Amino acid sequence: MTAPLTPPHQPPPHDAWSAPYPAQPEPDGVPSTATELRQAAVVASVSAVAGALLGLLWLWLAPRVQLVSDGKAVFLKDGEGESAIGMDGTFVLLALGFGALAAALVFLIHRHGGIALVLGLALGGVLGSLLAWGTGVWLGPERDVVAHAKRVGPEVFFEAPLELNMAAAAMLAWPIAAMIVHLALTALFGPRDPEPDDGPWPPVPSGKQG
C-alpha cells in the first residue's frame, strides 16, 4: 500500500486557476479611468456653475449701448460708437481669464490629469459660457426695446440689452483657453515617466594578444 502524495495536516498545493488575480495598485498615484471620469465630471460641473460669476462680471464691466426714441422709431445715441463691439470683447476677455484660471486650478489639484480632465475642462467651459450669456442677458436691461422706449417716452436715453454679436466665437474662448493652458502646464511641469534602465553596456572586446 503506497503512502499519499500530500502529507497529512498540510494545505493542498496552490491552484493558480482557482485563485483570483490580486488587484493591481495604481502606480505612482496615477488615478484609474473611473477616477479620472469622476474628476472630469466634477470639473465640468464646477466650471459650469462658475459661469454665473462670469455673467455677473460681464453685466458689470461691459460697456452700454445707449438708445433713444423719437416716438416713432428707436435710434442709437451714438451711431459710430463701439459699445456693441465692447460687449463681445469684454465677454471674450473674461472667458479667456476664466478658462486659464480653471486650467491652473485643475492642474494644481490633479497633477496626473489625463485626457478626461481636459475634456471636462472643455465641456465645463462651454456650459459655463452658455450660463454666463444667459445670466447677463436675463439680469441686464430689458430685452423688449420697443416696450422699453414707449415706457420711458421720446427723447429719453435708455440702455440696450446685452448682446453677443459673435456668440459662437465667444462660447469657444473659455474651453480653448482652458485646454491650451492645461496642456502647456502639463508639458512644462507635469510628472515625467522614468527612463528605462537598460543596464550596463556590454564590454568592448579587446584585441588579440600576440
For residue 51, CA distances in Å to 26, 114, 127, 164 come to 34, 23, 7, 15
16-30, 56-70, 75-89, 184-198: which is most confident: 56-70
DSSP 29-95: GPPPHHHHHHHHHHHHHHHHHHHHHHHHHHHHHSPPPEEEE-SS-EEESSTT--HHHHHHHHHHHHH
> What is the mean pLDDT of the segment spanning 105-114?
83
Phi, psi (rounded to 5 degrees) for 76:
-75, 140
For residue 67, list its beta bridge partners: 76, 158
Residue with the larger pLDDT of the pair 28 and 96: 96
> What is the mean pLDDT of the segment spanning 4-33?
52
Q: What is the pLDDT of residue 132?
A: 96
Q: What is the pLDDT of residue 143?
A: 83
Q: Which helix (H) or strand (E) holds 105?
A: helix 83-109
14-47 exposure pattern, b = at least 16 Cβ within 10 A, e = fewer = eeeeeeeeeeeeeeeeebeeeebeebbebbbeeb
Helix (H, G, I), strand (E, B) or coil at 104: helix
- Rounded mean pLDDT of the chain? 79
pTM of this structure: 0.73
Indicate whether 175 pLDDT > 90.
Answer: yes
> What is the mean pLDDT of the segment spanning 97-102?
96
- The grid cell for 168 is 459662437
Indicate whether 14 pLDDT > 60.
Answer: no
Place of cell 505612482: 28
Upper half-sphere CA count for residue 206 (Cβ side, 13 Å): 3
Place of cell 528605462: 196
Residue with the larger pLDDT of the pair 149 and 181: 181
